[in-house]
Each structure stands twice: as C-alpha cells, then as structure tokens.
Chains A and B, each alone.
Chain A
Amino acid sequence: MAEVIARGLRFHVQRLGHGQPAVLFLHGVVMDNLSSWYFSVAPAVAEVAPVLLYDLRGHGRSERPPDGYGVADMVADLEAVLDAVGVDRPLHIVGNSFGGLLALAFALAHPDRVASLVLVDAHVSDEGFGQQMAATLKLQGEARLAAIAEHFSDWLGRHSERKRNRLASTARALVEGTSLVADLQASVPFDRAALGSLPHPVLAIYGEHSDIRHRGEDLAATLPRCELRILPGCSHSVLWEATAEVRAAVVAWIRARTEAEHQPGEDRPCGSCSSSRP
C-alpha cells in the first residue's frame, strides 16, 4: 500500500499521472475516503495534470489515532503530507463536503501553497458548523445510520447490508472511539475578514436542493474571486448525483489554469507533458 509518514502517523496516499502533483483531492468526514474521488473525477483530471489523493486521519486506510481531528490538526496533516510527498509548488485543491472546508482552511493558513480551489458542496466553519456536525454524528442507532448515510453516502457502500455494517462500524469507531466530534465542535470559525481577502480563484459547486446551499451563496458573496455554480435537482450528494457534470467542471477548471501556468516559451520540464499514459 502506498503510504507516507506525516506528523508521526501513517497516511494512505495515491498518485495518478507522472511528475510532481499539481492537483490534490480531499474527501469528506466519517463515511468517506479517497475512493470517492479516485473512481469519479481524479482519473480524468490526471490526464491534464498529476494528481495526489490521501485518506484523512482515521479514514480509509490511514491510521486512526484517538485524537487530533480538529480543523487546525487536519490542516497541519495536509501540510505534512505535502512535505512528505515532496510537493513544493502551489496546488489546485478540490474538496468535497468537509474536504471543501479543509481546502478553504488550508488556503487561509498557507496561501502560498495554494493555486486555486474547487469546493463541492463544501461545509464552512462558522458558529453553527460544529453543532450541526455533532448533531448528525451523535444520533443513535438507526437514526444515526440514516443520517450518516444521507450525509456521507458511499456509492458502493449503500447497496449491501454487510458493507453498510462495515461502513457503520468504521463510522462508529470514529464517532465513539476518537475525539472527532468534540474536536470539530471546538474548531475555530473562519475569520470573515480573511475570507474576504482570499487571493485564490475559487469554483464553488452546490446542489440546488442541498441543505447547505446557503454556504455556497455566502461564499460567492464573501470571497473576492468565487464563481458559484448551482447544479439543478441535486442534493448535498452532488458528487454522486451529477458525477459527469462535476468531472467536466473540474477538468475544465484545472485545464484552464495549468495551461495558463505553462505559457509557450516556458521550457521547464513538466511531468504531465511527458506522461506516457495513453
């Protein structure tokens, strides 16, 4: 298994394409892992620029420590993973749900390491975020499974009892066996003034019927360079409900930016240009 050690923890990482990663994908929390991006959007993006994915602490095949699940910790994890992989140029970061929140938090903390952001139905850290998250995660039994399935649906997971149970036991291990809920509740809200001067171009994609669509509308009004796209008929699970549209939007966004980075006459060797991938 491909892994790196960062901040003393074992992180599962995957790379697609050749050369230094230019695009990073971040998944959501609890019932999610890097596979959601790996089989949906990442391969098409890897045709344009090299891609990096990793499982957040406690998720997928990464190590699950008992604590350290606050936004600041996850931002520090992200920076350490980039260092471990050897990424030293600004990245385009694509985040789904909580992964979008993490992408924004990372851009605020390390603006020089970010080239642009794509936020897919992203949560935003404010006064209500931690409580809302905790309310979902603290439900018991069937109610919790239903709520988790709705919020963190897994495309292969929701089709069989055994898989649902395995996913639910992973969720239970995170929710009951770690400080994740308390850490997320204790995370500091974003500084609105800092959001208002975020230098990066941002593409925000939200579902028309998403329960957090107002987050996208708020971001579009707050961030200086944010383009908001509402996908009709979709809920918070927009990545699953409109995979082709999300894929096309991300590929176009990355293509436009990586072409701008490689103007004619620039002779710098480029991993993706010499890729032997068919």
Chain B
Amino acid sequence: MASAAPDRDPTAVLDTVARLLREVIGEDWVDEVEITMDTSFSDDLELESIEFVALAEQLQETYGDRVDFVGWLSSMDLDEIIGLRVGQLVDFIVQCPPS
C-alpha cells in the first residue's frame, strides 16, 4: 500500500486536529484562522488549559487508547506545553504505535 491509514497520515490527522480545535474553541474568529503544522496552541489559538482537557477528550474519542495525549502532555514541563505547535501533536499521533 502506498498510502498510510487515515489515522496515520499526517495530512488527514492535521485536518482532524484542526476540526477538533475549532469545535473545542467554539468561537467565530477561529473559523477565519488557518490551522497549520506551524500554528501555536498558545500564541495563535490562545488555548486555555480547560480547552486542552476538552481537546484530550475529543482525541480519545477519535483515536481511542492508541493516542495517550494526557500522558504525553504530562511528560512535558510548563515551557514546553506553552510552546507547543499543532505539528508536534500531529507528529505524535502519527507515530503512536497501533493499539
């Protein structure tokens, strides 16, 4: 097979993550924002910590136990989380081993 499964393909995962982010933030302005691999959770989207919780829940529903987003975040320190970009989450989801 030439193409990866949808939940392992970076472009498809970015589309999914962008959709979930728009749902979680739920405000009009975010529909105007282009969400790319370079988009910063903190600087560009200004995601609050309680919105990170909602994103974790959505990721769990989408990808199941294969993607341990909470465990991944909890391994980082404050500065790392503040500086996170969407692409890092996409790469993390893509490289998670199949459950």
Q: Interface of A with B (CB < 8 Å)?
A: 1-2, 14, 16, 33-36, 38-40, 42-44, 55, 60-61, 154-157, 159-160, 162-163, 166-167, 240, 243, 276-278
User: Which partner residue on chain A sits nearest B96 by CB separation?
Assistant: A278
Say whether B47 contacts A14, CB under 8 Å.
Answer: no
8 interchain residue pairs of minimum CB distance: A35-B49, A43-B74, A156-B49, A35-B50, A35-B53, A33-B50, A43-B70, A60-B50
Q: Which of A60, A61, A277 contacts B65 (CB 8 A)?
A: A277
Q: Give the A-B pair count, Cβ closer than 8 A.
A: 70
Say whether B48 contacts A157, CB under 8 Å.
Answer: yes
Say whether B74 contacts A35, CB under 8 Å.
Answer: no
Say whether A40 contacts B74, CB under 8 Å.
Answer: yes
Q: Which of B47, B56, B57, B78 contacts A240 (CB 8 A)?
A: B78
Say whether A155 contacts B78, CB under 8 Å.
Answer: yes
A157/B49 contact (C-beta < 8 A), A2-B57, A39-B81, A277-B65 known: yes
Cα distance, A49 to B56, chains bound together (Å): 20
Interface majority SS (helix, strand, loop, mixed), chain B: helix
Q: Which of A34, A43, A154, A159 contacts B42 (CB 8 A)?
A: A159
Chain A nearest Cβ from B41, distance in angstroms: 9
Residues of B within 8 A of A38 (CB): 49, 53, 56, 70
Residues of A within 8 A of B54 (CB): 1, 61
Chain B nearest Cβ from A128, distance in angstroms: 31
Beyond A42-B74, A156-B82, A277-B65, 15 extra complex contacts between A and B, CB < 8 Å: A16-B70, A35-B52, A38-B53, A39-B81, A42-B70, A43-B74, A55-B50, A154-B49, A155-B78, A157-B48, A157-B49, A159-B42, A162-B46, A163-B48, A243-B77
The answer to whether B98 has its CB under 8 Å from any CB of chain A is no
Q: Mark B63-80, 1 if CB is under 8 A from A, else 0.
A: 001001011011001100
User: Which partner residue on chain B sits nearest A276 by CB separation?
Assistant: B65
Cα distance, A163 to B50, chains bound together (Å): 11
Residues of A within 8 A of B73 (CB): 39, 43
Cα distance, A167 to B50, chains bound together (Å): 11
Residues of A within 8 A of B81 (CB): 39, 155-156
A1/B65 contact (C-beta < 8 A), A35-B50, A35-B52, A154-B49 known: no
Q: Which of A14, A160, A163, A276 contacts B53 (CB 8 A)?
A: A14
The answer to whether B43 has its CB under 8 Å from any CB of chain A is yes
Chain B nearest Cβ from A61, distance in angstroms: 6
Residues of A within 8 A of B43 (CB): 160
Cα distance, A162 to B51, chains bound together (Å): 14
Say whether A43 contacts B48, CB under 8 Å.
Answer: no
